């Protein structure tokens, strides 16, 4: 298969800090919000949670040749009229973003597949769930706006079960406990896990990594998982079967993740467990992946 661009859809409220504007909408209604945006059309919006990551990803294009590269697509519930401020802000910061869908109040997830997106980042959990239901990697950003690490390279951190991998093993853990989970993983150590919602995104990242010498890649990936030995072996064999390389794999055996994420100096972290996301959110751009048994409605 020929290499392709990595395409990431980002909502306007994830790319920019629109909390003040959203408060106008919530307290005064759509007409007041629209007028507020028009009145402030030439005032650049502050950077949002996804801005540092988007900026770093787009900078990779200076080092890549077609057909490889990175494209950011803006998806917004704004109308084109109120969205003009968003495009003015994109121009202000010099971001090379040219594609967008302004949906006039309708959910923007409908256009994710049409744009060929590998990942969708949003502050709206309902849109994220719809994207996941349509087999696109997606996460709800739950951190506050952060500057992000000053490095030029980009470091992704992923949880394993229900993110990179399916939640088949986590279902056993939730239903029967740690002993049954460990026994099942040891018994199936040679059987690859099924792919989770972020498998295809990780594969696309790996394709970009292959465009660089391994020691000079500006993209690093890490698995940060609560698993420990002997449940590590199935994970390693699964990635080997998929022909996907992770630069670092951290098996924590249930230890809290946040200090390890800080030591790795992650630019962004994806996890299906809301509790793990809450602990990381004050330190690292964090995306909650509302997928799998841990997120089923009770």
Q: How far is CA 72 from the centre of its chain?
A: 13
Respond yes or no: is residue 127 known to be catalytic: no
Homologous superfamily (CATH) for 154-295 = HAD superfamily/HAD-like (3.40.50.1000)
pLDDT value at 4 more than 80 = no
Distances (CA, A) of 292 to 169, 170, 172, 179: 11, 8, 12, 20
pLDDT (0 to 100) of residue 185: 87
In the beta sheet, which residues pair with residue 165? 161, 195
pLDDT (0 to 100) of residue 298: 43
Confidence tier at 1 by pLDDT (50, 70, 90): very low
Question: What's domain 6-140's architecture?
Answer: 3-Layer(aba) Sandwich (3.40)
pLDDT (0 to 100) of residue 80: 87
Cα–Cα distance, 54 to 51 (Å, whole number): 5
Q: pLDDT (tens digit, 9 = 90+) per residue, 220-232? A: 999 999 888 888 9
Are 181 and 168 in contact, with CB atoms under 8 Å apart? no
Chain region(s) in the chain for CATH 3.40.50.1000: 154-295
Q: Is 95 helix (H, G, I), strand (E, B) or coil?
A: coil
Which of 159, 267, 271, 272 is catalytic? The answer is 159
């Amino acid at each position: 298969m020929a290499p392709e661009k990595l395409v990431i859809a980002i909502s306007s409220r994830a790319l920019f800090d629109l909390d003040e504007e959203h408060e106008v909408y919530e307290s005064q209604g759509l007409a007041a919000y629209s007028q507020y945006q028009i009145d402030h059309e030439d005032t650049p919006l502050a950077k949002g949670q996804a801005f540092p990551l988007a900026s770093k990803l787009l900078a990779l294009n200076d080092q890549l040749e077609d057909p490889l590269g990175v494209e950011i697509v803006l998806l917004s519930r704004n109308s084109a009229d109120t969205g003009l401020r968003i495009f003015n802000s994109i121009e202000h910061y010099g971001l090379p973003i040219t594609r967008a869908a302004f949906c006039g109040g309708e959910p923007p997830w409908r256009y994710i597949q049409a744009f060929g997106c590998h990942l969708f980042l949003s502050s709206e959990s309902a849109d994220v769930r719809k994207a996941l239901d349509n087999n696109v990697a997606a996460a709800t950003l739950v951190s506050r706006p952060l500057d992000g690490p000053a490095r030029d390279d980009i470091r992704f951190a992923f949880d394993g079960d229900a993110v990179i991998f399916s939640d088949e093993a986590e279902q056993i853990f939730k239903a029967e406990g740690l002993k049954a989970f460990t026994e099942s993983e040891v018994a199936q150590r040679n059987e690859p896990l099924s792919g989770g919602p972020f498998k295809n995104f990780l594969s696309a990242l790996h394709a970009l990594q292959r465009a660089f010498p391994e020691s000079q890649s500006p993209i690093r990936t890490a698995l940060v998982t609560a698993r420990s030995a002997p449940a590590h072996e199935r994970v390693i064999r699964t990635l080997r079967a998929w022909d996907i390389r992770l630069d670092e794999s951290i098996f924590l055996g249930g230890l809290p993740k946040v200090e390890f994420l800080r030591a790795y100096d992650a630019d962004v972290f994806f996890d299906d467990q809301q509790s793990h996301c809450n602990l990381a959110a004050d330190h690292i751009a964090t995306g909650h992946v509302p997928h799998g048994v841990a997120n089923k409605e009770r």
